[in-house]
Structure 1
């Protein structure tokens, strides 16, 4: 970016003074980063166009780097972008985790205030639909149109997102197994602790947007765990429907521990997860459901004006509620091999139906091993990719249920 000395090499002192008077440029370091080149007629006899620097008031401010997360002003009116610096364990440096806080300027009015909404993408770094949807909202949400507080973190595991990996390459930790976190732990645990102590207390609704990455393919769905509290469960179901996905999946809480959604649910938050694509790509439909779904949540709570949007007009029916609450619904691969599915994702199958074949190419003359449905239901997940290692989940069968 140009400074006084570089301008001086191109313009004589008269033109420098004229440029400064014209735009009042070169004020502070932060403002300097918001400047861009513009040509103007310097008035010399040859009509030469000179390059000057113009302050771009229409561009968003550069995110502020926050070295002490406890110093973030979550109550400051308007929209503010931050990069929260978490120091690295192995070298001098930081993981700069993006954060946007929107405190709406619309009056709260009478009655109960809105609950506050937090939306996360990039809990796993190679799941892109959530990252893209939440990043777009960082740019698109206007504080003048918002009532209450919205907190957006498009790349929660920033180091994993940069590396396009499920877990952080800095400490090998899966962010979605790191909760409730540890303020003295490695970087993933410290970020989880920040979310637990700084974000969760300020919101009542938590949205964690996932996709299958390289692990598996899902029908586009929202999801939540079995919730014992009937009031919390009913509201979670209402919010899950706002994403207008074909399926809402109730999935087992026994599959793993340390999930972001586990922690939020245990705190009584209205908590939604979901799977919006797969394959380390950006699924068009999945991104649309994630983006508009979050906006629908804001509309639902009166935080954003407008009617609830029907995201998929081609599907007139409401989402189908299915459940896979038991561990034996998540069928592991019995041996290393090459996976050949024989049914489509989302298909309705009956017990004993052929789900797929597992091929052993070390003996190419051998017959494939047949994998058959252990029960009737809906194929809610299928292994993505041909190579399947012993123990990975090959498929999930869920059954249609009522709340």
Structure 2
């Protein structure tokens, strides 16, 4: 019998339930939505979670589409899922947990007697470290972004090769290979011996069907490659960036992008311009280095110094 919270599934069964992690402000208990898919045959364990940031919903869309397609009778191994991690932020469509004003994906491995975010992180970290592989589904908040997978453990980590292999298998086409901040699940779980990656599935307000489809395909690539399902995976070459250069607006006004998302840019190439509301030129910004236009703010209006876009740098393929 495999359990996660109140979800219980024997071999060949699937069940959903709640993982209780605290109480709301009126004293009512609350729990995260969870699912257990227990394959008819033995095998590895995969852990997946979504909405660690409460407004990053594409991962929720992936899980919503993946679970109905899974038949435990055809599955080897187990899949543990937390469908919505940042419960409080999800309820109000915000990025950070409003109870403690914390970004959830900076609190791992968590603390079971700590703040709201630390308690949720501790409960989900406990589930994640039961697994052999972890997919922490994100998106680029509300900015426009390429579909990518982030390898966050760092190149000197003992599980670096395994994490990079998992990222390539997911197969979004783009990989950011850069050590992440402390407190990320994709940093903390490898320290416990579990290869973990952070698929960043585009960026939108609400969710984006194209990025969700890429995420669904990525999950099934992982299930097939690691033996959960019987199938083959065509692992094509990925465009890999090893760093970011971020660009802000040198003056306030309206931004016009001069390069497209995913476009290769060269040093000195114009990537955006800033004008007045009447189209009068105020500033032209060029790329400092060769790279790929990775992420773009969604709204055109900017104040001086406000974020506009990011270029993935030190680019290769593998």
**Given the two structures, how large is their TM-score scaled by the length of structure 2?**
0.87
**How far, CA to CA, are the matches of 1:177 and 1:336 in structure 2?**
31
Give the deviation of 1:135 after TM superposition: 2.5
Question: Taking structure 1 as reference, are residues 251 and 92 closer, same or farther at Cα in structure 2, changes over 3 Å only?
Answer: same
* Residue 233 (1) aligns with residue 148 (2): no
Give CA deviations for 1:179-227 in whole Å, capped at 9, x if unaligned: 221222232211101122x21331021101111222x222112221363
Residue 331 of structure 1, aligned match among 244, 247, 250: 247
Residue equivalent to 1:394: 309
Q: Is the 8 A contact 2:135 2:197 kept in 1?
A: yes
* Residue 376 (1) aligns with residue 290 (2): yes
What SS does the aligned partner of 2:159 have?
helix
Gaps in structure 2 of 5+ consecutive residues: none
Residue equivalent to 1:83: 18
Aligned residues: 314
**How far, CA to CA, are the matches of 1:128 and 1:304 in structure 2?**
26
**How far, CA to CA, are the matches of 2:67 and 2:60 in structure 1?**
11
Residue equivalent to 1:26: none
Residue equivalent to 1:341: 257
Question: Greater strand share, 1 or 2?
Answer: 2
Give the deviation of 1:378 after TM superposition: 1.4
Residue equivalent to 2:65: 136
Residue equivalent to 1:319: 238
Residue equivalent to 2:148: 221
Q: Is the 8 A contact 1:246 1:319 kept in 2?
A: yes
How is 1:45-194 mapped onto 2 (pairs within 5 angstroms)?
76-77=10-11, 78-88=13-23, 90-106=25-41, 108=42, 113-114=43-44, 116-194=45-123
Q: Is the 8 A contact 1:380 1:398 kept in 2?
A: no
Residue equivalent to 1:212: 140
Question: Taking structure 1 as reference, are residues 180 and 336 closer, same or farther at Cα in structure 2, changes over 3 Å only?
Answer: farther
What SS does the aligned partner of 2:273 have?
strand
Structure number with higher relative contact order (C-alpha < 8 Å, ≥ 6 residues apart):
2
Q: Is the 8 A contact 2:254 2:274 kept in 1?
A: yes
Give the deviation of 1:287 after TM superposition: 1.0
What SS does the aligned partner of 1:401 have?
strand
**Given the two structures, how large is their TM-score scaled by the length of structure 1?**
0.70
Residue 189 of structure 2, aligned match among 254, 261, 264: 264
Gaps in structure 1 of 5+ consecutive residues: 1-63, 311-316
Give CA deviations for 1:352-372 in whole Å, capped at 9, x if unaligned: 2211123466xx696322221
**How far, CA to CA, are the matches of 1:268 and 1:304 in structure 2?**
23
Question: Taking structure 1 as reference, are residues 304 and 168 closer, same or farther at Cα in structure 2, changes over 3 Å only?
Answer: same
**How far, CA to CA, are the matches of 1:74 and 1:400 in structure 2?**
45
**How far, CA to CA, are the matches of 1:380 and 1:169 in structure 2?**
29
